Amino acid sequence: MSAARRSVPHPAFAPGLGWAGARVRAGASRGTGLSRLIRPSLGGMASRDPVADLRRIAFLLERANEATYRVRAFRSAAATVAGTPHEELVERAQAGTLAKLAGVGEVTARCVSESLAGQEPVYLRRLLSTEGADLPAAAAALREALRGDCHVHSDWSDGGSPIEEMALAAAQLGHEYFVLTDHSPRLTVARGLTADRLRRQLDHVARLNEQLPAGFRILTGIEVDILEDGSLDQSDELLARLDVVVGSVHSRLRDDSARMTRRMLAAIANPHLDILGHMTGRKVAAAGAGDAAHRSVRTRPPSTFDLDEVLAACVEHDKAVEINSRPDRLDPPKRMLTVAVEAGCRFSIDTDAHAPGQLDWLGHGCERAALCGVGPDRVVNTWPADRLLDWTGAHG
């Protein structure tokens, strides 16, 4: 990992960084509203950046897996404040009319007023006070070694944020890349991408990569459904165009062991598949912010299949087993993860993020991986992007 990556500050504490990764420069214009300059406050002192504070709160709520409506309130307010002249904000704060702006409520108005007065919003201070403990040493070393995230969603399917917002948040976290893995057509509840929509997304990503900060890139991908016969839910032509293919089972999760084993083995043998996503399909808690497809799901037991056969196939075909870091998944279970280590599998530690704050969940996966003996040498997203692409290219 380069010194530049190590030095990127955590977004929750990054002075001068807007929530989409734009650094505030002296004399810079507001532009797209992604960052705002420090300006005189209500009392003539330097004010804080209310947009950055609102986005910081939203990020921390997402990371805490809070309800989507709460996150949306802060992101909507940030968008409104970003588009409102500073002088008007000050006048409204003095008159107590900030909450009359569309998209701004009483709670978010209070945060804006505190920021304009040069004070850290009480709401933000409370969230920061609940920060968890540092990772254990082995997990922290593994987290430090990660260069990217191979499983990320956007609002093109069931995510809650645009691709560019996810990308810029990832860049702030120090990622060198992430793989955009929106869902495939069969998963209609998650607005899976048709072939035409996927082609348009590929064009959109190509344009975005020309605009993103140096040192970060979006890799093209998909979380493709593994269908009942083990085939993949997208055409071979399109799958061949993608940088990384994550394959996951989302249907008939209670099939008997023999049927599920055949299904998974067929998918693993498919040359287009690179990573086996959340392999048991279990749910250990309710989903939270940004996850439109699964908000009603509480818990779900793991699917049953012949673990030894599935892991042996992953080793034979050099496919990675995903260590899914979502707090509501934590898949595979530790027992299976230990067996996978003993079998000689490669791994990909991913967030399955559906919102910017969820990109900071990698620590959950790293902690479980370290406990089960997974070292950085076994994890494909510790590699630079070019090496990752060499590996996925060898499958096809």
Q: With a cut of 60, say whether residue 153 has pLDDT above it.
A: yes
Alpha-helical (H) ranges within the chain are 3-6, 50-63, 68-82, 86-95, 106-116, 122-129, 137-145, 163-172, 195-209, 236-241, 257-269, 307-316, 334-343, 362-371, 385-395
The larger pLDDT score, comparing residue 303 to residue 6, is at 303
Residue 12 — pLDDT band, cuts 50, 70, 90? very low
Burial 242-258 (b: 16+ CB within 10 A, else e): bbbbbbbbbeebebeee
pLDDT tens for residues 299-317? Answer: 999 999 999 999 999 999 9
For residue 177, which phi and psi values (nearest 5 degrees)? -165, 160
Q: Where in the chain is the domain with CATH 3.20.20.140?
A: 137-395
Please state, in angstroms and rounded to a whole number, the distance separating the CA atoms of residues 152 and 164. Answer: 12
pLDDT tens for residues 175-219? Answer: 999 999 999 999 999 999 999 999 999 999 999 999 999 999 999
Bridge partners for 347 per DSSP:
321, 379
- Angle among Cα 110, 111, 115 to the nearest 5 degrees reads 115
Please state, in angstroms and rounded to a whole number, the distance separating the CA atoms of residues 380 and 392. Answer: 10
Between the CA atoms of 98, 101, 107 and 111, what dihedral angle is there, to the nearest 10 degrees?
-50
Q: With a cut of 50, say whether residue 67 has pLDDT above it.
A: yes
The larger pLDDT score, comparing residue 36 to residue 378, is at 378
Given this model, what pLDDT does residue 132 score? 76
Going by the DSSP 8-state scheme, the letter that residue 331 receives in this structure is B
Please state, in angstroms and rounded to a whole number, the distance separating the CA atoms of residues 38 and 53. Answer: 12
pLDDT tens for residues 286-300? Answer: 655 555 544 555 799
CA end-to-end span of the chain: 28
Bridge partners for 224 per DSSP:
247
User: Which three-class secondary structure state does DSSP give residue 93?
Assistant: helix
Given this model, what pLDDT does residue 130 score? 86
Check if the beta carbon of residue 289 is closer than 8 Å to that of residue 71. Answer: yes
Please state, in angstroms and rounded to a whole number, the distance separating the CA atoms of residues 63 and 57. Answer: 10
Given this model, what pLDDT does residue 131 score? 80
pLDDT tens for residues 20-44? Answer: 333 222 222 222 222 332 344 555 5
Ranges 68-77, 188-197, 249-258, 281-290: which has the least confidence? 281-290
The larger pLDDT score, comparing residue 376 to residue 292, is at 376
Please state, in angstroms and rounded to a whole number, the distance separating the CA atoms of residues 227 and 10. Answer: 39
pLDDT tens for residues 111-126? Answer: 999 999 999 999 999 9
Check if the beta carbon of residue 59 is closer than 8 Å to that of residue 12. Answer: yes
Ranges 10-19, 273-282, 364-373: which has the least confidence? 10-19
Q: Is the pTM of this model over 0.75?
A: yes
Given this model, what pLDDT does residue 39 score? 43
Q: With a cut of 90, say whether residue 325 has pLDDT above it.
A: yes
Q: With a cut of 60, say whether residue 94 has pLDDT above it.
A: yes
> What stretch of H or E contains 321?
strand 320-324
Residue 17 — pLDDT band, cuts 50, 70, 90? very low
Check if the beta carbon of residue 246 is closer than 8 Å to that of residue 274. Answer: yes
Given this model, what pLDDT does residue 396 score? 76
Residue 7 — pLDDT band, cuts 50, 70, 90? very low
Please state, in angstroms and rounded to a whole number, the distance separating the CA atoms of residues 180 and 223. Answer: 9
User: Which three-class secondary structure state does DSSP give residue 348?
Assistant: strand
Q: What is the mean pLDDT of the chain?
A: 88
Q: With a cut of 70, say whether residue 10 has pLDDT above it.
A: no
Check if the beta carbon of residue 296 is closer than 8 Å to that of residue 267. Answer: no
User: Which three-class secondary structure state does DSSP give residue 362?
Assistant: helix
Given this model, what pLDDT does residue 42 score? 54
Check if the beta carbon of residue 104 is closer than 8 Å to that of residue 112. Answer: yes
User: Which three-class secondary structure state does DSSP give residue 174?
Assistant: coil
Q: With a cut of 90, say whether residue 147 has pLDDT above it.
A: yes
> What stretch of H or E contains 217?
strand 217-225
Given this model, what pLDDT does residue 297 score? 59
Given this model, what pLDDT does residue 294 score? 47
Of 104, 122, 106, 125, the closest CA to residue 114 belongs to: 122
- In 260-308, the DSSP E strands lie at 275-276
Burial 215-224 (b: 16+ CB within 10 A, else e): ebbbbbbbbb
Q: With a cut of 80, say whether residue 165 has pLDDT above it.
A: yes
Q: Which fold has domain 137-395?
A: TIM Barrel (3.20.20)
